[in-house]
Structure 1
Amino acid sequence: MSKIICDFCGATDTRDNPVIAGDNACICKACVNAAHEIMSGNLPVEEDKTKNPAQEKEIKIKTPAELKKILDEYVIGQERAKKVLSVAVYNHYKRIFRHNEIDDDTELNKSNVLLIGPTGSGKTLLAQTISKYLDVPLAIADATSLTEAGYVGDDVENVVTRLVQAADGDIKKAERGIIFIDEVDKVARMSENRSITRDVSGEGVQQALLKIVEGSVVNVPPKGGRKHPGQDALQVDTTNILFICGGAFDGLEDIIKKKQGANVLGFNQDKKTKNEQDKIISKVETDDLVKYGLIPELIGRLHMIATLNEITEDDMVHILTEPKNALIKQYIKLFQMDNVTLKFEKDALKELAKLAIVRKTGARGLRSILEDIMLDIMFDLPKYKNKTVTITKEVVQKTEEPKVA
């Protein structure tokens, strides 16, 4: 079933902006409101013809510095990655909304981004945050679930379907959205040599991704799943969709060290500090990624590469306390709702950070650690009404009860 389109502004029928269909014409809610304003004399006709409030909002693009400031509120550290992403997004939306400002035949290509960093370092959070504040649809897909067309698993085109669903079925809006493909390192082929047999979830997926990443019109099933002959397919142009790929790329350091002539095997190796490991990964080049197992054609479409550092103990403490959605702030608010004051000692925060680093789950591991520690306290929370509960290092170690005053 095809979507109803407004004959006046070209908007597609959505829940927020429904389109009324007549015998010979269709009109959306926004155009009805605009017509009412004109007839009431509140808006000049000439101004209404040239001004589209939705378009005006879209053209106000945030600068890279403004975008980075937004990311700083949610993501601790990772300065280089935040700059790379801010510049890529700024250039991408400038290319879409302002390409007509200079009248020449120069074509601007989009800059897709590859984020390389350990688990829990903030790759997904970067994409989610930037999408939230740009008010554009975002689809997050896991590359491990993707397979070649015709095999059990998700078709690559289903990633685009998720973006259409995130845009409430508005294809025009979806065509300017962001697709974040996580765990892209898991579809690396096992060797540098081209496979003569089928590589169903590795090289085959990379070849399928090429088509949508570089920009083409894709036929996608409206509700996801497999394509069926009787199912109407939606046509989505991926030319203006920004692709951000992320992955941990375990073992990439060894490939870089080999290239530099360093010994990666044997007994004489010195254990590298986190700073030294971060410096090694920051020297990644495209040929290192080819050796890892990504096909050159796909790397060629991911123009901007940003590396994320492993999170330190100090970073963990900042993550717990500083961002707008910091876990400690969330718990303090939950306790306030029951008229209980919650406090965390500095040593307790450091102990929480140590536990997260030991578990090697990155920042995402902090929530499960806190949930476990706070469970019994939250269970008895109504008993502590109008009191102050202080969490100490011993509470985190589960050797003592919290202080109540």
Structure 2
Amino acid sequence: MKMLRSACVHQRRLRRPFSLLSSPPLKFVAGRPFSSIAASANEQIESAPKNELQENLRPTQIVDELNKYVVGQADAKRAVAIALRNRWRRRQLPEDLRKEIMPRNVLLVGPTGCGKTEVARRMAMLNDAPFIKVEATKFTEVGYHGRDVDKIIADLMDISMQLTKKRETEKVMDRAKEIVEELLLEKLIGPTTSSVSTPSDENDNTHKDKEQLQQVPRNKGSFQSMLEEGLLDEMMVEVEVPIKGPDSGREFSIGDEGRQVKFTLDADSQRTITQRKKLPVPEARKVLLESECEKLLQMVDLKKEAITAVEETGIVFIDEIDKICTSSASSGRNTDASAEGVQRDLLPLVEGTTVSTKHGNIKTDYILFVASGAFHSVKPSDLLPELQGRLPVRVELKGLTEEDLYKILTEPVANMIRQQVELLKTEGVELEFEDEAIREIAKNAAELNKSVENIGARRLHTVMERIMEEISFEAAEEGMKGTRMVVDKEKVGARLKGVTKSTDLSRFIL
């Protein structure tokens, strides 16, 4: 076997050149083994639903999944579960009846930190469909400087394109791997000793190499087995790597944000520039795999599938909708371009209209809209009447009690206590929280919410950081590795003594 390895490693040139001129490379995530390569558009797409989280989950299953991450708020979970299930039910109907069934948009009303946004985040992970979360305060009325609400649908379409490309890439990945292995074998098998080269060719004894190569079996099976075992990984293979120009695929805009004339330099319409490179077999495999996936994807109409996914299964979550709402007392006197005007612009989107994007026209008739807001200074009835009618399902979320805060610390899969324990475990420190200490943390957080400002579960982060500050600072010191640290009720009380007794004096300042 050593003789075979040496003979193969010291070959020199390719038997036949191979061109990748027509195939731009996919984005490659460096460092992954060949068996796990997947063309993903961005980090958000890597968090796509797993096999067990399918789009046809029953409402009870959806609630069970949400219970792993969100404490309480049963009404909100049920409303979201029903809305998601109704999307699946509608797609099972005949086309003539399907057109008449509109989504039941949802309005979540509840105080800050009660779980509105967390429900939306987990809903996106459960649903294999285009999903986007936006903040209503980021948009302005059409005609003013800022982003128009139509940008929501454009961004949703971009997400759908990425999801569709990832899904289709996974379908063709096995076929692409087979093609790449054949191409590598074609490059490695040659009638002479000059098919491939290694960096150490100049220092080798040419006569000795030729004698060894005469003993190497030149059949496909022997090379294939060595390729699979990684014995040929040191060999250098020459390939033509497509190079995209710095401006290819880039979008240019003229005008202010929200009122722009956009031009897109499509990379596919430009002549691809290639560069000939000698790469080790593992790197050449990655380049070829990206190219072959792109070739196979050219046979799929990605835009058509992505548009269908947006129109039939798209979900838009609009957070902080109460911030663009004005009270009835000040109605008519407010000229804020980010307030009532944005509500008017949202009306056609929620009701159903056609939005033009760079990928094509999108109909919003069947997109599900979920809005949320705290509504501290205003009421849901202060929304425009037309917008209220387009959000028929209204769910009120309750404020968090001391018991809820305790459950948040202990019940979710990645609860805050577990996070702290795992973080210190990386330093070799074993951290333990007594149950009484956890209840004391919840009690102090609840008291701070009552006496200072009610920020819900976010208060737990403030309290936990105060408790863990000294422990985290000292955990990396020499001699701490292998130690065991216990957080008890007394330690929690000592760390929070000054915080809980201090008074928010800002309320007395005139």
CA RMSD of superposed structures (Å) = 3.3
SS at structure 2 position matched to 1:245: strand
In 1: Cα distance, 2:320 partner to 2:383 partner: 12
Cα shift readout 1:131-154 (whole Å, capped 9, x = no counterpart): 102122321111122210122332
1:218 equivalenced with 2:369 (yes/no) = no
| Alpha-carbon distance, 1:14 to partner | 12
Match of 2:485 in 1: 389
Count of matched residue positions in the alignment of Structure 1 and Structure 2? 304
Cα shift readout 1:271-328 (whole Å, capped 9, x = no counterpart): xxxxxxxxxxxxxxxxx733xx201110111111111100000110100111112111
| Contact 2:157–2:359 (CA under 8 A) maintained in structure 1 | no
| Contact 1:92–1:111 (CA under 8 A) maintained in structure 2 | no
| Distance change in 2, residues 1:168/1:356 (3 Å) | farther
Q: Which amino acid aligns with 1:147?
A: T
1:135 equivalenced with 2:123 (yes/no) = no
Match of 1:298 in 2: 387
| Distance change in 2, residues 1:343/1:86 (3 Å) | same
Match of 1:144 in 2: 137
Q: 5 Å matches for 1:56-67?
A: 61-67=56-62
SS at structure 1 position matched to 2:470: helix
Q: 5 Å matches for 1:274-293?
A: 289-290=380-381, 293=382
Q: Which amino acid aligns with 1:312?
A: T
| Distance change in 2, residues 1:60/1:289 (3 Å) | closer
Q: Give the alignment partner of residue 308 of structure 1, picking from 377, 386, 397.
A: 397
Q: Give the alignment partner of residue 361 of structure 1, picking from 442, 448, 455.
A: 455
| Contact 1:14–1:168 (CA under 8 A) maintained in structure 2 | no
TM-score (norm 1): 0.67
Match of 1:86 in 2: 81
Match of 2:237 in 1: none
Match of 1:377 in 2: 471
Percent identity of the aligned residues?
36
| Alpha-carbon distance, 1:244 to partner | 0.7
In 2: Cα distance, 1:136 partner to 1:371 partner: 36
| Alpha-carbon distance, 1:233 to partner | 7.3
SS at structure 2 position matched to 1:114: strand
Q: Give the alignment partner of residue 244 of structure 1, picking from 355, 359, 370.
A: 370
Q: Which amino acid aligns with 1:367?
A: H
| Distance change in 2, residues 1:361/1:15 (3 Å) | farther
| Alpha-carbon distance, 1:160 to partner | 2.2
Q: Which amino acid aligns with 2:363?
A: D
| Contact 2:316–2:368 (CA under 8 A) maintained in structure 1 | yes
Q: Which amino acid aligns with 2:349?
A: I
Q: 5 Å matches for 1:133-282?
A: 133-169=126-162, 171-172=306-307, 173-175=309-311, 176-191=313-328, 195=332, 198-220=335-357, 232=358, 234-251=360-377
Cα shift readout 1:314-349 (whole Å, capped 9, x = no counterpart): 110100111112111111222223332211122322
In 2: Cα distance, 1:161 partner to 1:375 partner: 43
In 2: Cα distance, 1:59 partner to 1:80 partner: 22
| Distance change in 2, residues 1:133/1:217 (3 Å) | same
Cα shift readout 1:361-398 (whole Å, capped 9, x = no counterpart): 11123223323321321222134322221112333344
Q: Which amino acid aligns with 1:134?
A: N
Deviates more, 1:150-159 or 1:164-173: 164-173
Higher relative contact order (CA 8 A, sep 6+): 2
| Alpha-carbon distance, 1:218 to partner | 1.1
In 2: Cα distance, 1:332 partner to 1:58 partner: 28
Match of 1:226 in 2: none
Q: Which amino acid aligns with 2:85?
A: Y
1:117 equivalenced with 2:110 (yes/no) = yes
In 2: Cα distance, 1:15 partner to 1:246 partner: 38
In 2: Cα distance, 1:14 partner to 1:194 partner: 55
| Contact 1:128–1:138 (CA under 8 A) maintained in structure 2 | no
In 2: Cα distance, 1:216 partner to 1:164 partner: 15
Match of 1:71 in 2: 66
TM-score (norm 2): 0.54
SS at structure 1 position matched to 2:371: strand
In 2: Cα distance, 1:152 partner to 1:397 partner: 51
Rg comparison, structure with higher value:
2
Match of 2:167 in 1: none
Q: Which amino acid aligns with 1:389?
A: M
In 1: Cα distance, 2:61 partner to 2:109 partner: 23
Cα shift readout 1:93-123 (whole Å, capped 9, x = no counterpart): 322x3133x8758721101100000000000
Match of 1:99 in 2: 93
1:126 equivalenced with 2:126 (yes/no) = no
In 1: Cα distance, 2:73 partner to 2:435 partner: 23
| Contact 2:109–2:374 (CA under 8 A) maintained in structure 1 | yes
| Distance change in 2, residues 1:58/1:66 (3 Å) | closer
Q: Which runs of 5+ in 2 are unaligned?
A: 1-23, 28-37, 40-50, 165-305, 497-510
Q: Which amino acid aligns with 2:472?
A: M
SS at structure 2 position matched to 1:167: helix
Q: Which runs of 5+ in 1 are unaligned?
A: 1-12, 17-28, 31-55, 221-231, 253-287, 401-405
| Contact 1:187–1:202 (CA under 8 A) maintained in structure 2 | yes
